[in-house]
């Protein structure tokens, strides 16, 4: 047996094991190969195969066995090739692959996609003080809360909008994703309280779903598995994490980022805490423990990519200054705003951003500014996340910037509300972004 044949055999064994553990998913997979859904299923399956990081021999075998997406029915697929890769005949092989790659019945059947357009959404947020009021006019009032933490924002939003949406004979769709594992002893107050989760789940005016222990950047996979909607009216992220989004990997080298982390956060190392992986940080005279992924650097392009693919409107609230300027640099057209291997500091921001810096730092708390009035918005941002639309560049139709953490009549997270007690922090920012469709 050649090395490539062994890799295919190993995959076949993994597939068989997966089927043994997912009886319900196997039963539900019957619907995915119906004539009316076959083409969509095949397309989604190929996307997952190509994004899964499989060994080249396995990926090539699967793509060829799936007829590169040109088949019209299971019988058109390559039976012998599918048998080699899965050990099953075409119909069952396709179902097995759907189970393995977590392809479920399209989430649109559970959570329809709002019918909106960029012009309408941009006009709306320009004329309304609270961007979340879009939920009152959208045909599908839906919101995805990224890094939802203690669910304080979700609870406030449900109280503010659930009853008003119910009065319109609709129901607020409210989904939260967070990377913290509820079983972890790390993360402290950022864990979602059980009673808050239960209260949101039992509300009659809200369709609530909370996915803990999930990487939000797996959005496409979660949507394909039917666990999230394909697109929401609004996606929000409160207090985007530092250092996760404070450094852009396409702008700063790993060496520069590592140096900055050690200089600003302190020495750190991987360790274990009560049996689970952890990150130990020596910050000044204190030893701090965090989840092991606390210093994983994704950068603002990853966050902007996720917001653009998941919603019609993105709201990034309580953005601290370090994350804000790194985000801003990716939203502006001129390359001068993205100097290579030059971290942003209080000493160089004015020189790098020039007139943009002068204009933004003079706006008062609560004031809103359209970014395009300061400089040209970037016409094409690169996709940096794997999954669907990988090769498709994107842009933002409009970007509004508001200074402050909490605004009257607007739901906010507990982290945003704590900014008023942080004497050493400068006032944060809110970015309201409308992806171009």
Residue 200 has pLDDT above 70, yes or no: yes
For the segment 358-396, what is each residue's pLDDT rounded down to a tens digit?
A: 999 999 999 999 999 999 999 999 999 976 544 578 999
Residue where a domain terminates, one of 70, 105, 140: 105
d(CA 93, CA 65): 10
pLDDT for the residue 216: 95
Task: Provide CB contacts within 8 A for 297, sequence distance 6+.
Answer: 243, 244, 247, 249, 257
Same domain, 315 and 378: yes
HEC-encoded secondary structure of 57-115: HHHHHHHHHCHHHCCCCHHHCCHHHHHHHHCCCHHHHHHHHHHHCCCCCCHHHCCCCCC
**Local confidence band at 19 (pLDDT 50, 70, 90 cut-offs):** confident
Same domain, 95 and 125: no
Same domain, 217 and 128: yes
pLDDT for the residue 5: 83
Same domain, 189 and 210: yes
In degrees and rounded to multiples of 5, residue 72 shows phi and psi of -105, -15
d(CA 102, CA 377): 37
For the segment 109-143, what is each residue's pLDDT rounded down to a tens digit?
A: 578 889 999 999 999 999 999 999 999 999 999 99
Instruction: Give the pTM.
Output: 0.78
Neighbour-count burial of 427, counting CB atoms closer than 10 A to its CB (0-12 exposed, 13-18 middle, 19+ buried): middle
Structural domain contains residue 414: yes
Domain containing residue 73: 3-105
Structural domain contains residue 257: no
Same domain, 46 and 161: no
Mean per-residue pLDDT over the chain, rounded: 89
pLDDT for the residue 15: 83
Structural domain contains residue 284: no
Same domain, 101 and 113: no
Q: Of 12, 165, 193, 29, whose CA–CA distance to 103 is shortest?
A: 29
For the segment 283-325, what is each residue's pLDDT rounded down to a tens digit?
A: 888 888 899 889 999 999 999 999 999 999 999 999 999 999 9
Residue 18 has pLDDT above 70, yes or no: yes
Structural domain contains residue 400: yes
Residue where a domain terminates, one of 60, 86, 105: 105
What residue has token string 């502006």? 332
Structural domain contains residue 278: no
Number of neighbours of residue 321 by Cβ within 10 angstroms = 18
For the segment 60-84, what is each residue's pLDDT rounded down to a tens digit?
A: 888 888 766 556 667 777 778 888 8
pLDDT for the residue 314: 98
Residue where a domain terminates, one of 105, 132, 148: 105
pLDDT for the residue 46: 80
Structural domain contains residue 76: yes
Neighbour-count burial of 113, counting CB atoms closer than 10 A to its CB (0-12 exposed, 13-18 middle, 19+ buried): middle
**Local confidence band at 176 (pLDDT 50, 70, 90 cut-offs):** very high
Same domain, 199 and 100: no
Among 34-43, 122-131, 258-267, the range with the most confident prediction by mean pLDDT is 122-131
Please list the residues that pair with 282 across neighbouring strands: 267, 287
Same domain, 337 and 387: yes
Same domain, 216 and 338: yes
The DSSP 8-state label assigned to residue 203 in this structure reads: -
Greater confidence (9 vs 252) lies with: 252
Least confident of 63-72, 130-139, 151-160, 326-335: 63-72
Same domain, 180 and 91: no
Number of neighbours of residue 37 by Cβ within 10 angstroms = 15
What residue has token string 């329809």? 112
Cα–Cα separations (whole angstroms), residue 91 to 77, 298, 421 = 9, 39, 60
Residue 105 has pLDDT above 70, yes or no: no
pLDDT for the residue 93: 84
Structural domain contains residue 254: no
How many helices and strands (H and E) does the chain possess? Answer: 16, 11
Same domain, 331 and 191: yes
Across residues 94-106, what is the average pLDDT? 79
Report how many domains make up the chain.
Answer: 2
Structural domain contains residue 263: no
In degrees and rounded to multiples of 5, residue 400 shows phi and psi of -110, 140
Greater confidence (432 vs 89) lies with: 432
**Local confidence band at 89 (pLDDT 50, 70, 90 cut-offs):** confident
pLDDT for the residue 71: 66
Q: Which two three-digit tokens encode residue 186?
A: 């790390």
Same domain, 94 and 116: no
pLDDT for the residue 225: 79
Residue 170 has pLDDT above 60, yes or no: yes
């Amino acid at each position: 047996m050649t090395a490539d044949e062994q890799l295919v055999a190993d995959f076949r064994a993994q597939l068989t094991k997966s089927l043994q553990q997912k009886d319900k998913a196997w039963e539900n997979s019957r619907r995915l190969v119906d004539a009316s859904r076959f083409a969509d299923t095949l397309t989604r399956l190929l996307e997952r195969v190509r994004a899964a990081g499989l060994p080249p021999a396995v990926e090539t075998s699967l793509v060829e066995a799936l007829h590169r997406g040109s088949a019209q029915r299971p019988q058109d697929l390559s039976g012998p090739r599918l048998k080699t890769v899965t050990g099953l005949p075409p119909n069952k092989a396709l179902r097995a692959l759907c189970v393995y790659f977590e392809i479920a019945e399209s989430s649109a059947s559970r959570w329809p996609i709002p019918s909106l357009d960029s012009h309408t959404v941009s006009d709306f947020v320009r004329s309304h003080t609270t961007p979340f009021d879009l939920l009152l006019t959208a045909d599908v009032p839906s919101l995805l809360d990224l890094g939802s933490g203690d669910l304080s924002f979700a609870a406030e939003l449900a109280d503010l909008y659930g009853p008003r949406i119910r009065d319109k004979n609709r129901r607020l769709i409210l989904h939260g994703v967070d990377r913290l594992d509820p079983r972890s002893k790390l993360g402290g107050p950022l864990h979602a309280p059980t009673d808050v989760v239960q209260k949101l789940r039992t509300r009659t005016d809200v369709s609530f779903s909370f996915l803990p222990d999930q990487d939000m950047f797996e959005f496409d996979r979660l949507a394909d598995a039917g666990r999230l909607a394909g697109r929401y009216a609004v996606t929000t992220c409160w207090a985007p994490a530092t250092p996760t989004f404070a450094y852009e990997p396409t702008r700063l080298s790993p060496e520069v980022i590592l140096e900055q982390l050690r200089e600003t956060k302190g020495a750190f190392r991987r360790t274990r805490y009560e049996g689970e992986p952890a990150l130990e940080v020596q910050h000044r005279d204190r030893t701090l423990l965090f989840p092991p992924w606390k210093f994983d650097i994704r950068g603002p392009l990853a966050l902007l990519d996720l917001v653009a693919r998941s919603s019609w409107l993105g709201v990034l609230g309580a953005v601290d200054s370090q994350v804000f300027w790194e985000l801003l640099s990716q939203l502006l057209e001129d390359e001068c705003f993205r100097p290579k291997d030059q971290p942003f500091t209080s000493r160089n921001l004015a020189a790098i951003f020039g007139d943009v810096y002068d204009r933004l730092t003079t706006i008062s708390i609560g004031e809103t500014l359209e970014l395009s009035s300061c400089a040209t918005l970037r016409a094409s941002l690169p996709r940096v996340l794997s999954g669907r639309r990988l090769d498709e560049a994107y842009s933002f139709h409009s970007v509004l910037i508001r200074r402050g953490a909490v605004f009257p009549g607007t739901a906010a997270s507990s982290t945003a509300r704590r900014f008023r007690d942080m004497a050493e922090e400068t006032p944060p920012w809110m970015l309201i972004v409308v992806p171009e469709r």
